[in-house]
Amino acid sequence: MSYIAPVDETKFWLYEILEARRLFSVPSFHGFKEEDLNLILGEAAKITSESIYPLNQKSDQIPAKLENGICRTTPGFADVYELLVQGGWTGISGSQEYGGMGLPSIVTSCFNEYFGSACLSFSLLFLMNQGQIDALENHANDHIKNIFLPKLNSGEWTGTMNLTEPHAGSDVGALTTKAEKNVDGSYAITGQKIYISWGEHDLSNNICHLVLARLPNSPKGSKGVSLFLVPKYIQNEQGEWHADNNVKAISLEKKMGMHGSPTAVIEYRQSQGWLVGKESAGLYAMFTMMNNARLGVGIEGLSQCELATQKALEFAKIRKQGHAKIDNGKGVILDHPDVRRMLLTMKSLTAAARALCLDAALSLDLSKSNDKQVANKENVRASFLIPIAKAFSTDIGCRVADIGIQVHGGMGYVEETGAAQVLRDVRVTAIYEGTNGIQAIDLVGRKLSDSGKAANDLIDEMKTTTSECYNNADQHIKEMGNRLSKSLVCLETSLNWMLKQEDFNEKLAGATPFLKAFGLILGANYLVKAALKTGSLDRKSLAQFYCLNMLPEMEAYGVMSQSGKDSLYKFSDRFFGFSQ
């Protein structure tokens, strides 16, 4: 099959529902017009559909290999990388001051979706690069910016982030990689990092690692962690960046999916690096990159929703099996009610994930407004939406990819169709950049620490949608408003329960269901708004399907979110296999 980037669908959500034209008033994007956005979307669609997608199955079948310390990437990656470099795509979101394109987050998100659908493992290289550029722009000193940012934006060099270690997992405060200050003001980094996406490859001239490490006598835990920029190569006596820096990939992980993305174990031995931000404030600086990356990973989940849906729909339109007793049937499995239910589930959830991710990206862009009130409001809104966008969209990516296999039937379990690859590739996105459980903890912890104001502001937005439904003459729209309103009552009950809990473990017990509930109801709100604003029969029918089939799940998750910790801990040690 082919992959066709959904440009028209993107434009619909950008212009008709999210009112993305608002970003043109932000000073950072003055001079940027709708025609520019449309041109970029068209070019991104062309290069991803025509040049990158043909590499997708090849990247699965011919993975990256480490040979004598050199990582050989999938054949074809080098040619397309050069094509992307020539087009300026490596610096799509970087500041123009340092050679980037300076495009809004929402535009970068659209590009990342198309790229991810075309070849998820290849697209991850660019996501890591975008995050490092963002972190350096916000936290590095001018000396580092002037050296590294132009080369990262141009694609001559690429970036990674090095967080965890074999014993630490998500607890980065437990890391042992150490940093010692050199006489010249740089630092010597020693330690080992794991799960480094694109930590070694043969596409760029240098690989720059953002590394979390601990200085001597620093505070214990996460408060004592600092961030360093450590390139694979440093300057030689001639000033050229060719000297080995004792940064070595000692192995590549053998993974369930994403075979084309080399995930390295990196060893540092007195490797020269430079401090980014302040000492013992590494997590603060790294979270800039992670916030960027978390939205990007949500987009990765969306990208696989779109790819799985396109594959399943194309198969369902040509596969003949049985005979459905319906009027005007086409004689294919798309006629069958259960197959159609699966496809509509895929399409509606994909639309919900797309709207959610683009909405979060737009708020990030609007947070750069000169109007401080607007900037603050949109920053808080984006911060609240991002953990939901990351977790909801990647969970949905896994779900939609799984349904896609079912639509294919036996052929879905056969590698020839590529349906299985989508599920294998997308599965890790629910783990990347903080597992989805960690996103839920962030949501009920930090994001509700304002006494629920940000959450209630979003609820008020959804109540506006229900009011518009009640004022609509269409009875089906009114009914959707009723269903959305009923679900909002459930969400408010869950939110109030969360806010009342003094024992944080009570919140944690229901954090994941609470996030799922919020994601599902936001999806309903987007689809109902689409039905309201367009008058399209298909948009209305899709919203109606979602309200009837997806929204009831939200209410179940709302109830589950209030179950409390007792239901998790009323078990003996013997139940879990501990000796007495």
433 has catalytic annotation: yes
Please tell me the distance from the alpha carbon of residue 240 to that of residue 184, in angstroms, as a whole number: 18
CA distances from 525 to 9, 477, 482, 529 (A): 17, 12, 12, 6
DSSP E strands: which ranges in 117-262? Answer: 157-162, 178-181, 187-197, 206-214, 225-231, 233-234, 243-244, 247-252
Please tell me the distance from the alpha carbon of residue 159 to that of residue 433, in angstroms, as a whole number: 15
Q: At what angle do helices 475-500 and 537-549 cross, to 10 degrees?
A: 40
The active-site residue out of 113, 200, 300, 433 is: 433
Query: 407 Cβ partners below 8 Å, 6+ apart?
Result: 312, 315, 316, 333, 339, 342, 343, 346
Tokens 């407004």 belong to which residue?
369
CA distances from 236 to 189, 233, 242, 366, 503 (A): 19, 9, 6, 43, 57
Q: Quick count: other Cβ atoms within 10 Å of Cβ 49? A: 18
The token duo for 423 is 């599920």
CA distances from 491 to 58, 483, 505 (A): 44, 12, 20
Please tell me the distance from the alpha carbon of residue 535 to that of residue 543, in angstroms, as a whole number: 12
Active site residues: 433
